[in-house]
Structure 1
Amino acid sequence: MTLSVLLAGGGTAGHVSPLLAIADDIRFQEPDADIVVLGTQEGLETRLVPAAGYDLETIAKVPMPRRPNADALRFPGRFRGAVSQVVQLLRERSVDVVLGVGGYVSTPAYLAARRTGTPIVVHEANARPGLANRVGALLTRSDLVGYAFAGTPLKGRHVGMPMRARIEAVDYDEEEQRRAARRALELDEELPTLVVTGGSLGAQSLNDALAAAAQSIGEAGVQVLHITGAGKGEALREAVADQPHYHVRDYVDGMENAYLAADLLVCRAGAGTVAEVSVMWVPAVFVPLAIGNGEQRLNAAAHVDAGAALLIDDADFTGDLVRETVLPLVTDDERLTAMREAARRESFPGTAARTMTHMVYDAAGIEHPGREYGPQQWTKHERFYRTGGE
């Protein structure tokens, strides 16, 4: 029996990336599986999903109104319409399982699945669940709910974050991998290396703080790879124009190389970033985004509590803090080693995409294909044990 699955979620990379990681694992296990992604016309999924080779179906974005107004009056009818669209899609594609990762389209998908009797699987990326996944978790069995971070207040299992296999495969302990990453990024192989990133959209406050500390960075003998986000690096480029070891990039393809290159990473605390750092054991300074409902601080909490990272409030991340805290840390081998060992002991779950695929087949009542993962899909742990540590 061929699996047919609808994957619901989108809007941001935080939803689309784990969704595509799960889709890729399902496709690896069953190349003929019928996979369709449900999103909206406004999200990143309109570009990323077709580029990854998957069918995309869209419905209207129907956010829940926060105040009584004309939108609130139109909401019930629009929401019912969205649910009905998904019901029709489930029937047309003979969908066996709906898997949701959160976002605007997941709630209509869950309710449509409930109406048609289609099993539901849920993955929650953030430590503080959104409304959609709280609804989804209520509509399915606890063994079909997975979440990225321990302590997430949902029934279910701590499975980690579905991510690109390449992130789980690289080994931060392998010195030659780290040297190769620095060469690929045109960095010096020997200098202590600070990597700064604000994610796909950049982080202006991080850019400003590093610019304010530019002179001290040059004097510290540290090289910097600073990923600013598109169109956000001009002022920083001017501030560091006389520093040959300060490298400003709008973006980097293949963030595993940036992680491998870093002796210390300064970054936001989005769910995907925290999970990738935790899996790779990269010492980090998290500067949570100061807006939203505080989920970034919660995402980072366990990793920080384990001693594997520091957490600095955005308002406190200034040029002075870079000089007094970040620069001494990036050259402190003893503290960095202790942070790496703390991350190792934390044992953040890997291979979450594989776990979620098992949940999908279990929900569908279809036997998991059990296709063996070859060397290209091995994690660093699998490679170590399968090759005898060579």
Structure 2
Amino acid sequence: MKVVVSGGGTGGHIYPALALIHHMQAADPAHEFLYIGTENGLESGIVPDAGIDFASVHITGFKRRISFDNVKTLWRFAAAVQKAKKLLKEFNPDVVVGTGGYVCGPVVYAASRLGIPSVIHEQNSVPGLTNKFLARYVQKTAVCFEEAASYFPDEKVVFTGNPRATEVVSADADENILASFGVTTELPIVLIVGGSRGARPINEAVLEAAPGWEGKPFHVLYVTGEVHYEDIRNRLKDQHLPDNVSVIPYVKDMPSLLQHVQAVTTRAGATTLAELTAVGMPSILIPSPYVTNNHQEKNADSLVNAGAAVMIRESELSGAVLTEQLEHLMKPDRRKTMQAAAEAAGTPDAAQRLYAELLKLAEK
């Protein structure tokens, strides 16, 4: 089977796409893939580095306010559709998959004009503009949250979950990963991470709270984000860093690390939540309020309602609030209950579910 995959802009669109490709390559090495992204997006580096053939189209997103830039975007969209048609004709795929980001718009639309079956994958509980637009042109819409289904035609919706969950749950665990961070403890470990670049409000709450964590019955592994590391490390030294708090800048192998911690405090991006539920991880979620349609809070609501997480809104976040929630979360009985709820909310077979939908379309 020949498959075109398109997704870009953020890791939340790219990593599920790569997880799907890796699953399919393992299932059948004869499958062929072409990834279409933008020339300057994250995907232009990440995808070729993963050994996957990559091509690009030039496209920008629409402004949500009235702007002359939107006229330019319409022109770019038309040009990108023509470029995408050329790429699709050359590769001749059996099916096209869009995993989000505005680059999917011209690629999936071009597939519909050429009569190539296509699927869009919506990671969030509230769809973005691109997937809302494309829903009328695709054969299937795969969702990760039941709440997203109402935004799409009922007859097209399939619940698959996020392929990143499959990749995380099947990852080989590095038994030395904690030691590589200088963590040697018998205490349960809670990971605090604000994303690959960190999150300033979470950093400030940790700075306020960390001195008071001395002697607590848990160990905090705190990921600052590389751009914040030196500043945070120096500020914590000035106010005394307890022995049960470890500070690191970045985690390259998150799937492996998740198999060695007992709880996580983090943002509520869709891919992050897929990773957490894949391994049954209790969590404190601090949604970013700076995202479209406040979708992270709605993502978090899904796990909170399932009993798998608690949520602290950024407007309510402080060192005292964070400490209170950590102490509650790290009680063994509470953690065990939330772990079971997180496992129940997970979709560790997500990649297989989406793969099955692609096989059905390719066979028609």
TM surpasses 0.5: yes
Instruction: Report SS of the residue matched to 2:3.
Output: strand
For 1:91, the aligned partner's letter is: K
In structure 2, relative to structure 1, the CA distance for the partners of 1:217 and 1:77 (3 Å cut) is same
Instruction: Report SS of the residue matched to 2:5.
Output: strand
Alignment of 1:279-358 (within 5 A): 279-292=278-291, 293-330=293-330, 332-344=331-343, 346-358=344-356
In structure 2, relative to structure 1, the CA distance for the partners of 1:95 and 1:248 (3 Å cut) is same
2:59 corresponds to 1:61: yes
For 1:150, the aligned partner's letter is: E
- Match of residue 232, structure 1, among 219, 228, 232: 228
Partner of 1:387: none
2:155 corresponds to 1:159: no
> Would the aligned equivalents of 2:289 and 2:297 in 1 still touch at CA under 8 Å?
no
Alignment of 1:68-87 (within 5 A): 68-87=66-85
Alignment of 1:146-185 (within 5 A): 146-152=142-148, 153=150, 154=152, 155=154, 156-163=157-164, 165-169=166-170, 182-183=178-179, 185=181
For 1:231, the aligned partner's letter is: V
Shift of 1:328: 4.2
TM-score by length of 2: 0.91
> Would the aligned equivalents of 1:6 and 1:38 in 2 still touch at CA under 8 Å?
yes
Shift of 1:169: 2.8
Partner of 1:360: 358
TM-score by length of 1: 0.85
Q: Distance in 2 between matches of 1:116 and 1:129?
A: 25
In structure 2, relative to structure 1, the CA distance for the partners of 1:33 and 1:264 (3 Å cut) is closer
Two-structure CA RMSD over aligned residues (Å): 2.1
Q: Distance in 2 between matches of 1:308 and 1:206?
A: 20
Shift of 1:245: 2.9
Q: Deviations over 1:162-185 (max 9, x none)?
A: 1164521369xxxxx798654454
Partner of 1:187: 183
Over the matched positions of the two proteins, sequence identity in percent amounts to: 31
Q: Distance in 2 between matches of 1:166 and 1:183?
A: 23
Q: Deviations over 1:198-230 (max 9, x none)?
A: 111211111110110121012425321111111
- Match of residue 133, structure 2, among 135, 138, 141: 135
> Would the aligned equivalents of 1:137 and 1:145 in 2 still touch at CA under 8 Å?
yes
In structure 2, relative to structure 1, the CA distance for the partners of 1:235 and 1:212 (3 Å cut) is farther
Q: Distance in 2 between matches of 1:240 and 1:73?
A: 49
> Would the aligned equivalents of 1:181 and 1:260 in 2 still touch at CA under 8 Å?
no
Q: Distance in 2 between matches of 1:16 and 1:50?
A: 12
Q: Distance in 1 between matches of 2:289 and 2:63?
A: 23
> Would the aligned equivalents of 1:306 and 1:342 in 2 still touch at CA under 8 Å?
yes
For 1:133, the aligned partner's letter is: N
**Count of residue correspondences:** 355
In structure 2, relative to structure 1, the CA distance for the partners of 1:178 and 1:49 (3 Å cut) is closer
2:233 corresponds to 1:212: no
Gaps of 5+ in 1: 172-176, 367-390
> Would the aligned equivalents of 1:307 and 1:343 in 2 still touch at CA under 8 Å?
yes
Partner of 2:23: 25
Q: Distance in 1 between matches of 2:260 and 2:246?
A: 13
Q: Deviations over 1:243-280 (max 9, x none)?
A: 33321111112113332332321100000111111121
> Would the aligned equivalents of 2:104 and 2:130 in 1 still touch at CA under 8 Å?
yes
> Would the aligned equivalents of 2:165 and 2:274 in 1 still touch at CA under 8 Å?
no
Instruction: Report SS of the residue matched to 2:226.
Output: coil
